[in-house]
């Protein structure tokens, strides 16, 4: 079961992203896409072969390992490399990028390596030496290679803040043969860009049209602005706006262009809008303060600029390059900024009015609701493992607050909340934690922290209720319903409010989310052990709440709506905390005491048991947690003498019940009536999810009136050892009597 789920978890994302990279080639190469499709093919072979030969299992293991490297390790390496660059650990960043480029070839690694190598040269103060070496190589290089070397030289000068040298080299070698771009028919700032001959325009098309990489073009615009050449900067900015129109991969680059240009032309209000969290969440606090200072300095607000620059300097203690740039701005703060000429002023006015929508950001810091929820799920699992019992053990799950049908119907509604944070084993926990981390950050970016918390909380409760009402399983637990709620809310938001998001990004994400949804539902259909009703309930619940709390409605930012969301979030937090407190306080003895009693006949005997214990052949069974009581009339004789043969018989029956083996118990904990004899052992088995289940077996012999009996009671060991539970079980055995 776990093997198939793991292969499916690799097959689905590798198939989707592989096809996407092969078809679109956003970085001009399909290598990474073909690697993903190869991994998906290996997973298909391993799944189709079932219990095949060993070499098929080996293929499956290769698919799992390769999928983890391509889908998890590579993005983690990219994030680590960016952190290393931001903290001036450039040698480490170079190593990380090299490894990442092996795992994700053709996805921008070459440009990242060039940037890091350039920064290392600047950091070591060897700019002129590096430029000289590159110029020598350039003289011998073929024309097709020279453009890349020219870009490297310009980047070196820009990183060293030598604006004149950067502009001079770019104009002499990269821009010398460029043609003036055609004007828009209506004279606007490029509302409609030329279409690529081979389909939708991409990052590669724009770079080819400009003659250099788009980020370098933006930095060149910044160099013109810092030199005071605003007309030339406006010319380049207009050209880029036309070329990048509709290219979703360049949304962040367009944002940077507008931020740089508007800041240097003193459009303070427009810059402040671009620096709002919804648009500038990818920028650090230091970067946002720096650009706010540039805008205020250009507008003549020296005091405001100084305060912003000081904040930027204080927030970048480890970034030497950023501090150098801020120090330079502080040194020149008393020098008045040049006035914007007519062309630059007109472009600034147009850019200030232009709308800009970025894909929702994924928070980079480990804060926010998503991180808290993931941490809570992990913490609950760790505490249960330390204080209650092994992860995945049925007794542990029930004791920790799982959704137990009879208990909920008996009034323990708090289990609907507590069960959302309980997981059936470590694999279940890890799968849900990874899904929550991915979907939660996306939903948090779309809806905000408070609304995302409401969606998660409501979907979790709705999923638990759906599981209670519709699932055939007596025990259910996990955050899957809440996670599907985030999925449903995201799908509804992107489908109904598509006008708020860029088309290419929206379509790609909708496709990915639809594939994930279909795959999860299909897995639930094929594997009955998965609680499909909780998934569907959470999906619907999250979709409804996401629709109601969508940030795209006109009234979404009204104070009443915000306070309603906060009130709902507070109520949900109280409900979940109360569920956790009740789970801690309610033991198995309390469960037995709270359940109504029923008199059940079992052969020539009757016994008073909890109402959920119903007849199953010659036994009484609590089908939810598999508590089993069997009673058999025996031949006359002393109880102690009959115990040995009965133990031998019952241990054989334990294997018939599906247990793999038995272990001796360290002590007898369940009391039996006076004159009876008993012994206890632990029956051990493995469930369909691969978790080990441990049941305490109480085998006993005795005399009831004139009838000798032998019997056995199977109870999850964790529950049997719970405070007061052994005495409560002994009290049930004491009610055994002859049938009337």
Active site amino acids: 480, 535
Instruction: Give the closest residue to 264 by CA, choosing from 182, 359, 332, 216.
Output: 332
CA–CA dist 129, 165 (Å, integer): 14
Phi-psi region of 50 (alpha: psi -120 to 50; beta: other; left: phi over 0): left
Q: Which residues contact 709 (CB under 8 A, 6 or more apart)?
A: 605, 631, 632, 633, 634, 701, 702, 703, 736
- CB-based contact 52:229 (threshold 8 Å): no
> Strand pairing of 619-622 and 613-616?
antiparallel
- Containing H/E element for 726? helix 725-733
Using alpha carbons, select from 173, 209, 211, 177 the residue that is nearest to residue 193.
Answer: 209
| SS3 letters across 316-368 | CCCCHHHHHHHHHHHHCCCCCCCCCCHHHHHHHHHHHHCCCCCCCCCCCCCCC
- Give the span between the Cα atoms of 451 and 472, in whole angstroms: 32
Half-sphere exposure for 428 (CA within 13 Å, toward CB):
26
Q: Which contacts qualify for 291-296: CB closer than 8 Å, 24 or more apart? A: 291/259, 291/260, 291/263, 292/263, 293/329, 294/263, 294/264, 294/329, 295/262, 295/263, 295/266, 295/267, 295/268, 295/271, 296/268
Q: Are strands 707-716 and 403-404 parallel, antiparallel or unpaired?
A: unpaired
H or E, element range at 628: strand 627-633
Burial of residue 609 (CB within 10 Å: 0-12, 13-18, 19+) is buried
Task: Give the C-alpha separation, 539 to 460, whole Å.
Answer: 10
Query: Given the DSSP bridges, would you call strands 627-633 and 677-686 parallel, antiparallel or unpaired?
Result: unpaired
Distance CA 481, CA 461 (A): 8
Could you tell me which of 681, 615, 674, 692 has the C-alpha nearest to residue 652?
Answer: 681
Q: Rg (Cα) of the chain, in Å, rounded? A: 34
Determine how many CB atoms are found less than 10 A away from the CB of residue 177.
7
Strand partners, 681: 664, 697
d(CA 378, CA 691): 18
DSSP 424: S
Q: How far apart are CA 268 and CA 293, in angstroms?
A: 9
Alpha-carbon distance 175 to 168, whole Å? 10
CB contact set of 378 (below 8 Å; sequence gap of 6+): 429, 433
Determine the Cα–Cα distance for residues 523 and 428; give it in Å rounded to an integer: 14
Q: Dump the DSSP string for 92-158.
A: HHHHHHHHHHHHSTTSSHHHHHHHHHHHHHHHTT-HHHHHHHHHHHHHHS-HHHHHHHHHHHHHHHH
């Amino acid at each position: 079961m776990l093997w198939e789920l793991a292969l499916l978890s690799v097959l689905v994302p590798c198939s989707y992203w592989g096809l996407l990279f092969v078809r679109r080639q956003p970085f001009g190469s399909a290598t990474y896409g073909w690697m993903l499709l190869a991994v998906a093919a290996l997973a298909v072979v391993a799944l189709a072969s079932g219990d095949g030969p060993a070499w098929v299992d080996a293929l499956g293991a290769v698919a799992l390992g390769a999928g983890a490297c391509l889908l998890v390790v590579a993005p983690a390496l990219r994030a680590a490399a960016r952190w290393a660059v931001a903290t001036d650990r450039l040698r480490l960043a170079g190593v990380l990028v090299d490894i990442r480029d092996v795992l994700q070839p053709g996805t921008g690694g070459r440009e990242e390596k060039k940037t890091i190598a350039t920064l290392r040269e600047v950091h070591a103060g060897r700019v002129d030496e590096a430029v000289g070496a590159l110029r020598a190589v350039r003289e011998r290089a073929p024309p097709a290679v020279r453009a890349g070397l020219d870009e490297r030289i310009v980047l070196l000068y820009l990183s060293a803040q030598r604006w004149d040298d950067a502009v001079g080299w770019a104009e002499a070698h990269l821009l010398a043969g460029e043609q003036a771009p055609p004007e828009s028919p209506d004279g606007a700032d490029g509302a409609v860009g030329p279409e690529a001959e081979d389909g939708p325009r991409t990052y590669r098309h724009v770079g080819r049209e400009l003659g250099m990489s788009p980020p370098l073009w933006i930095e060149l615009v910044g160099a013109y602005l810092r030199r005071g050449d605003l007309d030339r900067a406006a010319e380049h900015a207009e050209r880029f706006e036309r070329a990048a129109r509709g290219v979703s991969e360049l949304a962040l680059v367009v944002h940077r262009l507008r931020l740089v240009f508007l800041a240097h032309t003193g459009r303070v209000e427009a810059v402040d809008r671009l620096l709002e969290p919804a648009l500038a969440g990818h920028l650090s606090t230091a970067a946002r303060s720096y650009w706010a200072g540039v805008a205020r300095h250009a507008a003549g607000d020296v005091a405001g600029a100084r305060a912003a620059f000081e904040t930027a300097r204080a927030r970048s203690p480890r970034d030497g390059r950023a501090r150098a740039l801020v120090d330079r701005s502080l040194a020149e703060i008393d020098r008045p900024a040049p006035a914007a000429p007519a062309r630059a002023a007109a472009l600034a006015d147009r850019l200030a009015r232009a709308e800009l929508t970025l894909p929702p950001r994924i928070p980079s810091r480990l804060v926010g609701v998503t991180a808290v929820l993931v941490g809570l799920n992990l913490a609950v699992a760790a505490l249960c493992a330390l204080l209650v019992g092994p992860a995945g053990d049925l007794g542990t799950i029930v004791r920790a607050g799982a959704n137990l049908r009879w208990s909920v119907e008996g009034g323990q509604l708090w289990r609907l909340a507590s069960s959302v944070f309980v997981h059936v084993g470590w694999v279940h926990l890890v799968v849900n934690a990874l899904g929550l981390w991915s979907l939660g950050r996306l939903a948090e970016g779309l809806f905000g922290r408070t609304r995302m918390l409401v969606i998660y909380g409501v979907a979790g409760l709705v999923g638990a209720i759906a599981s209670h009402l519709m699932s055939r399983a007596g025990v259910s637990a996990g955050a899957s319903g809440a996670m599907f709620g985030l999925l449903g809310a995201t799908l509804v938001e992107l489908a109904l409010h598509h006008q708020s998001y860029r088309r290419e990004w929206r379509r790609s994400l909708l496709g990915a989310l639809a594939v994930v949804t279909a795959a999860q539902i299909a897995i639930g259909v094929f594997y009955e052990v998965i609680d499909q009703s909780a998934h569907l309930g959470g999906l619907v619940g999250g979709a409804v709440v996401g629709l109601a709390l969508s940030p795209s409605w006109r009234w979404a930012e009204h104070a009443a709506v915000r306070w309603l969301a906060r009130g709902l979030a507070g109520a949900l937090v109280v409900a979940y905390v109360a569920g956790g407190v009740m789970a801690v306080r309610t033991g198995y003895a309390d469960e037995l005491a709270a359940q109504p009693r029923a008199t059940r006949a079992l052969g020539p005997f009757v016994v008073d048991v909890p109402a959920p214990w119903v007849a199953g052949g010659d036994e009484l069974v609590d089908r939810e947690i598999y508590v089993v009581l069997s009673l058999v009339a025996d031949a006359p004789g002393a109880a102690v003498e009959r115990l040995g043969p009965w133990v031998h018989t019952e241990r054989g029956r334990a294997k018939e019940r599906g247990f793999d083996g038995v272990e001796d118990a360290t002590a007898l904990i369940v009391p039996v009536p006076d004159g009876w004899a008993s012994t206890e052992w632990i029956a051990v088995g493995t469930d369909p999810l691969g978790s080990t289940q441990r049941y305490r077996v109480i085998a006993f012999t005795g005399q009831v009136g004139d009838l000798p009996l032998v019997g056995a009671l199977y109870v999850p060991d964790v529950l049997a050892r719970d405070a007061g539970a052994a005495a409560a079980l002994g009290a049930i055995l004491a009610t055994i009597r002859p049938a009337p």
